Amino acid sequence: MTAPETVVPTGKSGIYMPRRSLLMRIADMRAWLFLVVLIAFFEVWSRSAYGVSFILNTYNLQSISVFATAPLLLALGQTFVIISAGIDLSLGFVMGLASVIAAHVANYAALQLGLPPLAAMLVGMLTGIAMTIIPGLVNGWLIAHLKVPPFIGTLGMYGVARGAAYLFAGGMTISVSNSWYSTIGNGRVLGIPVLVILVAIACLIMHYLLSQTRFGQHTYAMGASQAAARRAGINVKKLTMKIYLLSGIMAGVAGVLYTGRFSAGAAQAGEPLLLDSIAAVVIGGASLFGGSGTILGTVAGALVIAVIQYGLVFINVEPFWQFIAVGTVIIISVLVDQTQRRFTGGRQVE
Amino acid sequence: MSETILSVRNVSKHFGGVQALNKVSFDIHPGEVVALAGDNGAGKSTVIKAISGVFRYDEGDIELDGRRIAFSSPQEARENGIETIYQDLALADNLSIGANIFLGREPMTRLFGFLPVIDRKMMAEAARVTMEKLDFHVSRLDAPVSAFSGGQRQAVAIGRAMYWNARLVIMDEPTAALGVPEQRKVISLIQSLKAQGKGIIFISHNLRDIFEVADRIVVFRRGENAGERIPGETTGDEIVRLMVGK
């Protein structure tokens, strides 16, 4: 028996070179491209209609970035979930729950326990965030151990968190009067809103987790093929729990910061933000089938949505156009993603 | 061939009332390719799952390098030098070759001296060296493996086994999902594993592949040994007769 001497000819010297065309590189960066196009659009409109700049305006920049913070915080956790081929629908009301609890606890700590504002705020924030461990772990447990599809499991948690948030709030908004807390929510350092600084730090941490750690690497692997991840010795159940826990905690952070920004805890704080968070991740280049996505893309996706929402108000167009605009961007983004997959011959939905 | 890598002795396994394996035995020596042949349900998959720790066997002994083994997980089997290569599902298509070789065992380094990060440089370099040993030269080590063909992906899986210095490589239908030229490529990859002195268990439905690559053919029928043949001393017809029992 002789070994076959030659193998498949894969080029001159057997060198196989998967090339990426310029077009593909641009497609990878599409969220940032959208952002540039949108900014250019609003800039032209704003200059021609009102003779003022849209983007070279400190107030606008501050507003847009603050606008983007809450959906972005939800989208950061959602990025991990979507890359792992899941979805977290409970985020909006988990955020509301954290917001309400933070408000209650901060008030209680200040008024009943007599803690100074800073301590009262910290106790409130930490309690609000700590509470989100419960829905995060329950989501993860349902999906990892009981094999409930993520869509259904987190939809159930959406209902539970919603009810719990309204019950804790007694159907009202809980106003908080705490100087420290409102500084966190509305203050500025060197002209940069404190909220934006905090969210930027969160983005850096999430980027690190996703791109530089085993946790992030295994999240990608699991999203591409759960069987491959399992066969490589990755504890897929534990990983799933961690991902939904992270997602819940990020919603908690969004909730307690909301309480600072509006000096009030509200159960419905995150209600309209859930879909924005998914949209940001998808516009940012992630596939809902899992396995792809980046924090950088998600940041761009969240900024795209914020620019559309704020820009349309700024140029004085009926605000309802924002839904049409965001929806259109989502559809274009998904179409680009599918075309790209077809061309790279990559993982279609097999 | 005095040394034995793997020795399977009278191994039995039943699932409820079904006797999936009944006193099955065979040996594998260094640099030897043993093909397991048999009809569906003959026990080929069951025996490799018993070896690779997917489940425990009920009776008998499996010895790796003279030590009795009964792994409780594929992970444990891998740590002890048994790598299994599946026809699919073994790779994360969205990750690079290096990331796949190291999946679940990523090397870490420190950024700025304190921040632990995955050592991608080291993974890429190891991927390059490993793949070159398989005569597979890659220019873009950061490309996801989805960019490569089926045979090249098998090469990645085989490269993973090589990198981790597996003693025994189990290949379950490695050519099933491939076109003919790609099947040739996999056959030549098996030859290079063999040249490195690994023991190889090869499962295939394709008798031509079996005859080309195997040093011995172990035939199973209904969970039992039905015979053992040397390819040069038998014919496809005889193997088929052993498989169906006539």
Greatest Cα-to-Cα distance within chain A, rounded to the nearest angstrom: 88
Token duo for residue B100: 């796949």
The percent of residues in chain A predicted with pLDDT above 90, rounded, is: 67
According to DSSP H, which parts of B65-179 are helical? 74-79, 97-101, 120-133, 150-163
Contacts of A3 in chain B (CB under 8 A): 188, 191
What is the C-alpha separation between A188 and A275, in angstroms, rounded?
29
**Dihedral sign of CA atoms B129, B135, B138, B139 in order:** positive
Taking the CA of residue A4 and the nearest CA in chain B, the distance in Å comes to 6
The SS3 call for residue B215 is coil
- Measured between CB atoms, which of A8, A218, A228 is closest to B89? A228
Is residue A6 predicted with pLDDT exceeding 60?
Answer: no
Taking the CA of residue B66 and the nearest CA in chain A, the distance in Å comes to 25
Q: How many domains does chain A divide into?
A: 1
- Measured between CB atoms, which of A1, A8, A347 is closest to B212? A1
- Measured between CB atoms, which of A3, A218, A346 is closest to B191? A3
Interface contacts A/B by beta carbons within 8 Å: 119
A7 and B188 within 8 Å at the Cβ level: the answer is yes
Mean pLDDT, chain A, rounded, equals 88
Contacts of B136 in chain A (CB under 8 A): 14, 16
Hunting for tokens 């167009």 — which residue is that?
A317
Render pLDDT for A90-146 as a digit per residue (tens, 0 to 9): 999 999 999 999 999 999 999 999 899 999 999 999 999 999 999 999 999 999 999
Q: For B83, phi and psi rounded to 5 degrees?
A: -105, 140
pLDDT of residue A14: 40
Render pLDDT for B87-132 as a digit per residue (tens, 0 to 9): 665 789 899 999 999 998 899 999 888 899 999 999 999 999 888 8
Contacts of A291 in chain B (CB under 8 A): 92-94
pLDDT of residue A11: 36
What is the C-alpha separation between B192 and B84, in angstroms, rounded?
17
Is beta strand A188-189 parallel, antiparallel or unpaired with respect to A192-193? antiparallel
Residue A14 lies in a domain: no
Determine if residue B17 is left, alpha or beta; phi over 0 gives left, psi from -120 to 50 gives alpha, anything else beta: alpha
A231 and B139 within 8 Å at the Cβ level: the answer is no
Is residue A209 predicted with pLDDT exceeding 90?
Answer: yes
Token duo for residue A283: 């516009």
Contacts of B91 in chain A (CB under 8 A): 225, 228
- Measured between CB atoms, which of A14, A231, A346 is closest to B90? A231
B117 and A227 within 8 Å at the Cβ level: the answer is no
Low-confidence stretches of chain B (pLDDT beneath 50)? 1
- Domain residue spans of chain B: 6-244
pLDDT of residue A20: 55
Is residue A4 predicted with pLDDT exceeding 70?
Answer: no
Between positions 149 and 168 of A, the ones with CB within 8 A of B are none
Token duo for residue A211: 């791109």
Whether the CB-CB separation of A326 and A31 falls below 8 Å is answered with: no
- CA angle, residues A140, B86, B127, in degrees to nearest 5: 85
Q: Which residue of B93, B111, B171, B185 is the best one to mutate when testing the A interface, meaning the one whose CB has the most A CBs within 10 A?
A: B93
Look at residues A212, A204, A217, A216 and name the one whose alpha carbon lies nearest to residue B118: A212
B185 and A8 within 8 Å at the Cβ level: the answer is yes
- Measured between CB atoms, which of A4, A14, A18 is closest to B184? A4
DSSP B144: B
- Measured between CB atoms, which of A10, A20, A224 is closest to B94? A224
Render pLDDT for A298-323 as a digit per residue (tens, 0 to 9): 999 999 999 999 999 888 888 888 88
Query: What CATH number does the domain containing A244 carry?
Result: 1.10.3470
DSSP B96: B
Task: Provide the CATH topology of domain B6-244.
Answer: Rossmann fold (3.40.50)
Contacts of B103 in chain A (CB under 8 A): 217-218, 221, 228-229, 232, 234
Domain span holding position A232:
56-334
Whether the CB-CB separation of A246 and A135 falls below 8 Å is answered with: no
What is the C-alpha separation between B204 and B214, in angstroms, rounded?
11
Measuring CA to CA, how many Å separate A4 from each of A233, B96, B181, B187, B207?
A: 34, 28, 11, 8, 17
Look at residues A48, A4, A22 and name the one whose alpha carbon lies nearest to residue A315: A48
Is beta strand B115-118 parallel, antiparallel or unpaired with respect to B108-111? antiparallel
Residue A44 lies in a domain: no
What is the C-alpha separation between A271 and A349, in angstroms, rounded?
31
> CB contact, 8 Å: A231 with chain B?
yes
What is the C-alpha separation between B98 and B122, in angstroms, rounded?
8
Look at residues B197, B131, B94, B193 and name the one whose alpha carbon lies nearest to residue A16: B131
Q: Which residue of A5, A12, A16 is the best one to mutate when testing the B interface, meaning the one whose CB has the most B CBs within 10 A?
A: A16
Using pLDDT thresholds of 50, 70 and 90, give the confidence band for residue A15: very low
Whether the CB-CB separation of A68 and A302 falls below 8 Å is answered with: yes
What is the C-alpha separation between A79 and A297, in angstroms, rounded?
9
Amino acid, single-letter form, for residue A93: F
What is the C-alpha separation between A334 and A287, in angstroms, rounded?
8
Is residue A12 predicted with pLDDT exceeding 90?
Answer: no
Taking the CA of residue A283 and the nearest CA in chain B, the distance in Å comes to 19
Residue A215 lies in a domain: yes
